[in-house]
């Protein structure tokens, strides 16, 4: 029997949130304060992966204390923490001393005498280089496991991609992870670290904002897909810009990257919630200046912008787009609006569609048409539109991803069951968990 490298070796199929906490802060009487408050997070405020951060978030002078704090807080609170726990230690592809320091941090945190290791799922290794550097980190973990009598491969390894060579290495994982001379099967998350990546690539923008790096995110997502791992985007610095954070996550999901770094419990709530389907469906309309949400009112979907205009004439319609008018009959108008409109399905809609397709399949049908109708209103003129979409097995499989995500969350995060029920209603939650 061969092992399948794309089969995930971890319980979680998805990770929505990667939340870092400083391991030790100066001043005040408890340097572990931030760790302690993070360890008590529950429900939507608790991340899927919690990262006590003994690297960049913690001052170099505090990192020795940080190791002790991790041991203390994780051994005390780890059993009750609802997400996985993966401390970040120091590491650098270009500096053997830093690598050795990282090894010693891991060795100390995973010492069974401290009591934390039972609740540690793995470690996060920053600043990795090419695949040979990943192997060094893997070997450091193997030595930690051996030294402490842990099962080989029981500690996972997640890496932060913050250099060109690490980006290239993501193309090699699939080939390298199967070799008998390493334990790279322990890999779990591929996390982009855009601040240091920007430095390494020497990227510059006029305002100092981070470049968008779309290709990096694609390559991370692809590397994860090809090796059965999970892709996570880096930190979004402007924590007040919730709309921007959401936009970034929407973009990421279109790249297959479901997870994102969260810097605050507020960002954790956003990032835990956003990838899940909405509670209510709604229509979008492209008015020539971009896609905007229509407003629901009395069974109609109303357009409030002024880029589109519509007027009924005796024998048809005049549609105005960006100052240009076109005369249309009823059918052409419907066609035109259909082209501009799109529906964002709710969780209940998705469950209905999947169930309908599953029933059709059982009845021997390979493809069915799904219909979605609405009345759209522009300048007070109502127009009925109806969108058909053919569903076959492939459509069904691709549409299943949000449901897979939901089921993964539901299975692994009982602490979020109440929030999910509040959001969707118990009946929809129940049906969603039973699909597939």
Angle at Cα 85 formed by Cα 83 and Cα 89, nearest 5°?
Answer: 155
Q: What is the DSSP string of 162-203?
A: -SHHHHHHTTTHHHHTT-TT--GGGEEEEEE-HHHHHHHHT-
Decide if 26 contacts 33 (C-beta within 8 A). Answer: no
Decide if 159 contacts 166 (C-beta within 8 A). Answer: yes
Find the shortest distance in angstroms from Cβ 379 to a copy of itself.
Answer: 13
Based on CB atoms, which residue is closest to a copy of itself, 116 or 260?
A: 260
Find the shortest distance in angstroms from Cβ 119 to a copy of itself.
Answer: 28
Nearest in space to 50 (alpha carbons), one of 35, 65, 33, 31: 35
Find the shortest distance in angstroms from Cβ 101 to a copy of itself.
Answer: 16
Find the shortest distance in angstroms from Cβ 146 to a copy of itself.
Answer: 26
Find the shortest distance in angstroms from Cβ 147 to a copy of itself.
Answer: 26
3-state SS class at 114: helix
Based on CB atoms, which residue is closest to a copy of itself, 144 or 187?
A: 187
Q: What is the DSSP string of 296-350?
A: EETTEEEE--SSEEEEEETTEEEEEETTEEEEE-HHHHHHHHHHHEEEE--HHHH
Based on CB atoms, which residue is closest to a copy of itself, 85 or 276?
A: 276
What does the alpha-carbon distance between residue 22 and residue 365 come to, in Å, rounded to a whole number? 55
Find the shortest distance in angstroms from Cβ 354 to a copy of itself.
Answer: 12
Based on CB atoms, which residue is closest to a copy of itself, 115 or 292?
A: 292
**Kind and range of the H or E element at 340?**
helix 330-340
Q: Which residues contact 266 (CB under 8 A, 6 or more apart)?
A: 239
Sign of the CA dihedral with 417 first, then 422, 423, and 427 last: positive
Q: Which residues contact 100 (CB under 8 A, 6 or more apart)?
A: none
Find the shortest distance in angstroms from Cβ 243 to a copy of itself.
Answer: 8
Based on CB atoms, which residue is closest to a copy of itself, 155 or 187?
A: 187
Find the shortest distance in angstroms from Cβ 374 to a copy of itself.
Answer: 13
Find the shortest distance in angstroms from Cβ 427 to a copy of itself.
Answer: 22
Based on CB atoms, which residue is closest to a copy of itself, 114 or 129?
A: 129
Based on CB atoms, which residue is closest to a copy of itself, 120 or 354?
A: 354
Based on CB atoms, which residue is closest to a copy of itself, 105 or 258?
A: 258
Based on CB atoms, which residue is closest to a copy of itself, 9 or 218?
A: 218
Q: What is the DSSP string of 11-25?
A: S-S---EEEEEES--
Find the shortest distance in angstroms from Cβ 154 to a copy of itself.
Answer: 26
Sign of the CA dihedral with 398 first, then 399, 405, and 411 last: negative
Based on CB atoms, which residue is closest to a copy of itself, 304 or 418?
A: 304
Strands of the 295-297 sheet, one edge to the other: 295-297, 300-303, 368-378, 381-391
Nearest in space to 410 (alpha carbons), one of 1, 12, 3: 12
Helix runs in 228-312, H state only: 242-253, 265-273
Decide if 70 contacts 116 (C-beta within 8 A). Answer: yes
What does the alpha-carbon distance between residue 23 and residue 19 come to, in Å, rounded to a whole number? 12
What does the alpha-carbon distance between residue 241 and residue 225 come to, in Å, rounded to a whole number? 30
Find the shortest distance in angstroms from Cβ 342 to a copy of itself.
Answer: 4
Based on CB atoms, which residue is closest to a copy of itself, 81 or 267?
A: 267
């Amino acid at each position: 029997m061969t092992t399948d490298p794309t089969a995930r070796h971890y319980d979680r199929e998805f990770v929505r949130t990667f939340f870092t906490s400083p391991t030790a802060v100066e001043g005040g009487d408890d340097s572990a304060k931030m760790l302690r408050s993070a360890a008590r997070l529950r429900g939507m405020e608790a991340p899927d992966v919690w990262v006590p951060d003994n690297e960049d978030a913690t001052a170099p002078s505090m990192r020795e204390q940080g190791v002790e704090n991790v041991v203390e807080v994780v051994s005390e609170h780890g059993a009750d923490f609802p997400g996985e726990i993966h401390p970040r230690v120091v590491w650098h592809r270009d500096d053997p001393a830093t690598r050795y320091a990282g090894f010693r941090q891991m060795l100390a945190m995973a010492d069974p005498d401290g009591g934390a290791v039972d609740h540690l799922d793995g470690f996060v290794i920053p600043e990795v280089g090419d695949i040979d550097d990943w192997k060094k980190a893997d070997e450091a973990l193997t030595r930690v496991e051996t030294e402490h009598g842990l099962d080989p491969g029981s500690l996972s390894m997640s890496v932060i991609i913050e250099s060109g060579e690490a980006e290239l290495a993501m193309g090699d994982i699939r080939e390298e992870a199967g070799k008998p001379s390493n334990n790279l099967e322990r890999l779990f998350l591929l996390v982009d670290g855009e601040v240091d990546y920007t430095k390494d690539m020497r990227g510059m923008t006029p305002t100092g904002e981070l470049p968008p790096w779309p290709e990096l995110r694609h390559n991370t997502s692809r590397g994860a897909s090809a090796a059965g791992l999970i892709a996570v985007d880096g930190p979004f610095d402007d924590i007040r810009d919730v709309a921007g954070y959401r936009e970034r996550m929407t973009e990421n999901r279109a790249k297959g990257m479901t997870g994102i770094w969260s810097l605050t419990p507020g960002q954790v709530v956003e990032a835990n919630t956003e990838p899940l389907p909405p509670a209510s469906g709604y229509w979008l309309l492209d008015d020539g200046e971009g896609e905007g949400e229509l407003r629901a009112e009395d069974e109609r979907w109303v357009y409030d912008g002024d880029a589109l205009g519509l007027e009924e004439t005796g024998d048809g319609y005049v549609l105005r787009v960006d100052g240009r008018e076109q005369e249309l009959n009823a059918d052409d108008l419907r066609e035109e609006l259909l082209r501009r409109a799109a529906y964002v399905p709710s969780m209940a809609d998705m469950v209905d569609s999947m169930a309908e397709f599953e029933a059709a399949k059982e009845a021997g049908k390979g493809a069915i048409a799904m219909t979605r109708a609405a009345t759209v209103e522009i300048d007070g003129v109502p127009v009925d539109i109806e969108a058909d979409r053919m569903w076959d097995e492939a459509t069904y499989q691709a549409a299943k991803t949000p449901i897979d995500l939901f089921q993964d969350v539901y299975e692994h995060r009982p602490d979020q069951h109440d929030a999910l029920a509040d959001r969707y209603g118990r009946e929809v939650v129940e049906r969603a968990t039973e699909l597939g």
